Amino acid sequence: MTFTNNDANIKQFQLIKFINENSGDDHVLSKCSIVLRRDKIEAPYYMITKIMLSSCIDMEEMGLFHAMDVLNHVRRHNLTESAYNEISELVLGVPESDMVKITRDDVQIKMDVMTRSDEQFRTLYDECRDLFDRIDSLIG
């Protein structure tokens, strides 16, 4: 699996999937946020994606009592109208659940995702694969 393109730009959702699948820790908290906005004059079709991973690691024998916030990555996108519309449809097509919350108003669509284990993330990734792949494809 590759989570960067040839220019070493991070494919956010491939990266978070890779870390979840390869973490030895049972408690990995994954948060993703996708915000689509269309109210800015200088960037009428705008998206912010944020991924965050936290892991509760306790290795007292190595001198570590507790560690969190493994990864925090934000990317801002100026989109074409067609990409904005396509991603909007994909976001709105995801069913809401305990792990997925979607809000919408006149100027923005926001999707918040939170999983508490690798198993939950795999299930969610399968449900949102088209959306995550489309966003990752923006960087090539």
12 near 18, Cβ under 8 Å?
A: no
pLDDT in the model for residue 80: 93
What are 64-77's pLDDT values in tens digits? Answer: 666 667 788 899 99
User: Per residue in 10-19, pLDDT tens?
Assistant: 788 887 788 7
Residue 57's alpha-carbon distances to 24, 26, 27, 61, in angstroms, are: 10, 9, 8, 12
List of residues 6+ apart from 48 with CB closer than 8 A: 33, 34, 35, 37, 74, 75, 76, 77
In this predicted model, what pLDDT tens digit does every residue of 97-108 receive, in sequence order?
Answer: 999 999 999 999
pLDDT tens digits for range 118-140: 888 889 999 999 999 999 988 87
